[in-house]
Amino acid sequence: MVSEDVLRTHLQELRRGTVVVASLVALRRPDYGYALLQRLTDHGFPVDANTLYPLLRRLEDQGLLTSEWNTAESRPRKFYRTSDEGESMLSRLLDDLAAVQTSITGLIQGVDR
């Protein structure tokens, strides 16, 4: 029987890479960090704020996200959006994700390449 701790560790590793893809998809519609956190969680990508905010900064530094401060409300919020370069990267990541899924399915079904 697999221990819950071991399973949790492997699930965390599996989702770590997919949170980048999920964030780039979700941020096709501009949003601020906390709302993104909620949206990802609602769609099955639970992520800790201490993980998400550094990820957003890194993706922005890489040119995959753009950001803009909204100061019209009582509390300023930084809104993020997937950039054109982020869309290009996302397309490639989604292609690779599909290829991985195809490979896994082939292994499960015993299909030779």
The answer to whether the Cα torsion of 94, 100, 105, 108 is positive or negative is negative
Helix, strand, coil distribution of the chain in percent, nearest 5: 65, 10, 25
Architecture of the domain delimited by 4-112: Orthogonal Bundle (1.10)
Distances in Å between the Cα of 8 and the Cα atoms of 12, 38, 104 are: 6, 21, 20
Q: Would you list the domain boundaries of the chain? A: 4-112
Band (56; pLDDT cuts 50, 70, 90): very high
Residue 113 confidence (pLDDT) above 70: no
Band (51; pLDDT cuts 50, 70, 90): very high
Question: In angstroms, rounded to a whole number, what is the distance separating the alpha carbons of residues 45 and 12?
Answer: 10
Structure tokens at 100: 């991985």
Q: Residues 26-42: what's their mean pLDDT?
A: 96
| Sequence letter at residue 28 | R
pTM of the model: 0.87
